[in-house]
């Protein structure tokens, strides 16, 4: 069983089902509205926990009902929330999600307490980081918090996993990249960081080489319904995706990350099998509505992975 710590966001998601995305100035009717626990970090932690990993979380909520809701959701999946702090002046993060008929989404995120996470909060969590096999971070919390967490991890031989999502608006701090053992962007995030558009396998290999030049030795690029490309010191390859009818893609990438770190070995020797497992998990997620409600259990993934 892998021991996974996730540093990241906690958001209450409100989803709106619509026929198609509105044009500027247009008003559209909502056919269905729902609320669910979400946030990229929380989704990834839930995915890891549901796939059998011993999971802990580092994050921040507000002193409000939404914060209590998010804490309860973590505890429901047996995620250690010891290091989820409470902010007395800023509310819990929220996200408004528009879903069209094809299952594609547009998301508006209010960072709230997620953006108030500090180095001090991370330092307090050092015991749980030291006891982990992997630590995962994204960009819905401050970059400096991820740097601090990865510094602790590297001192204690913990594998660092960076999911650079949402796509960074400015250059990533080079120190963070040098502290990253494996980076897992999607194709758009990858292009945003490296300047290389993913068009074919050659562009993927060039991208991996570029990340290596930045200090990141291992790469997985998720490419939607085409699958995932990986590159490590032992080789590279493209693992095709499993074809399903997507209903809601909101937590697909987060499910992939959480499922991946629940299965992959610290030396990445089983990376192909871990990616296939993560793709099975993600293929189940996109066939359901909602973020965390759509994330499958280990038993469900094993059924489709036979």
Residue 290 counted as an annotated binding residue: yes
Is 119 a known ligand-binding residue?
A: no
Check whether 294 is labelled as a binding-site residue.
yes
Q: Is 80 annotated as a binding residue?
A: no
CA distance 163 to 150: 13
Q: How many whole angstroms from its chain centre is CA 85?
A: 20
Residue 25 labeled ligand binder: no
Q: Is 111 annotated as a binding residue?
A: no
Q: Does 249 show up as a binding residue in the annotation?
A: no
149: left (phi over 0), alpha (psi -120 to 50) or beta: alpha
Q: Is 17 annotated as a binding residue?
A: no
CA distance 290 to 11: 13
197 known member of a binding site: no
Annotated binding-site residue? 285: yes
CA 281 to CA 43: how far, in whole Å?
13
In order of 23, 121, 290, the CA distances from 250 in angstroms are 21, 28, 7
Largest CA distance in the chain: 53
Residue 130 marked in a binding site: no
Residue 199's contacts (CB-CB under 8 Å, 6 or more residues apart) are none
Catalytic residue among 72, 80, 254, 273: 254
140 is in an annotated binding site: yes
Task: Confirm or deny that 41 is annotated as ligand binding.
Answer: yes
Please tell me whether 131 is known to bind a ligand. no
**Could you say which DSSP state residue 125 is in?**
T
Backbone angles phi, psi at 82, to 5 degrees: -55, -35
Note whether 3 and 49 are within 8 A (CB).
no
Helices (H), the chain: 40-50, 65-76, 119-124, 126-130, 143-155, 174-178, 187-194, 201-214, 252-263, 271-285, 298-304
Can 273 be counted among the known catalytic residues?
A: no
Q: Can you say which residues are annotated as belonging to the binding site for ATP?
A: 186, 222-227, 253-254
Q: Can you say which residues are annotated as belonging to the binding site for substrate?
A: 11-13, 39-43, 140, 254
Q: Can you say which residues are annotated as belonging to the binding site?
A: 11-13, 39-43, 140, 186, 222-227, 248, 250, 253-254, 285, 288, 290, 294
* Residues forming the active site: 254
Q: Can you say which residues are annotated as belonging to the binding site for K(+)?
A: 248, 250, 285, 288, 290, 294
């Amino acid at each position: 069983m892998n021991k996974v710590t996730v540093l990241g966001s906690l958001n209450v998601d409100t989803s709106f089902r619509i026929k198609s995305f509105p044009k500027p100035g247009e008003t559209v009717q909502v056919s269905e509205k729902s609320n669910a626990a979400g946030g990229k970090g929380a989704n990834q932690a839930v995915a890891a926990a549901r796939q059998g990993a011993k999971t802990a979380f580092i994050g921040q909520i507000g002193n409000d009902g939404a914060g209590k809701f998010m804490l309860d959701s973590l505890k429901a999946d047996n995620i250690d929330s010891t290091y989820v702090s409470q902010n007395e002046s800023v509310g819990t993060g929220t996200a408004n999600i528009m879903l069209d008929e094809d299952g594609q989404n547009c998301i508006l995120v209010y960072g709230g307490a997620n953006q108030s996470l500090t180095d001090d909060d991370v330092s307090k969590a050092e015991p749980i980081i030291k006891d982990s096999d992997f630590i995962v971070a994204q960009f819905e919390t401050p970059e400096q918090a991820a740097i601090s967490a990865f510094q602790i991890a590297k001192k204690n031989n913990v594998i660092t996993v960076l999911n650079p999502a949402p796509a960074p608006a400015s250059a990533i701090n080079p120190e963070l990249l040098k502290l990253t053992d494996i980076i897992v962007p999607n194709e758009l995030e990858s292009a945003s960081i490296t300047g290389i558009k993913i068009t074919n396998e050659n562009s993927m290999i060039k991208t991996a080489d570029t990340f290596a030049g930045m200090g990141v030795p291992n790469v997985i690029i998720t490419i939607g319904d085409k699958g995932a490309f990986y590159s490590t010191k032992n080789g590279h390859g493209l693992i095709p995706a499993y074809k399903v009818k997507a209903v809601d893609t909101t937590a697909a990438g987060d499910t992939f990350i959480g499922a991946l770190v629940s299965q992959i070995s610290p030396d990445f020797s089983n990376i192909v099998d871990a990616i296939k497992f993560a793709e099975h998990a993600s293929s189940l997620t996109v066939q359901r509505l909602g973020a965390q409600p759509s994330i499958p259990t280990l038993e469900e993934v094993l059924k489709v992975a036979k």
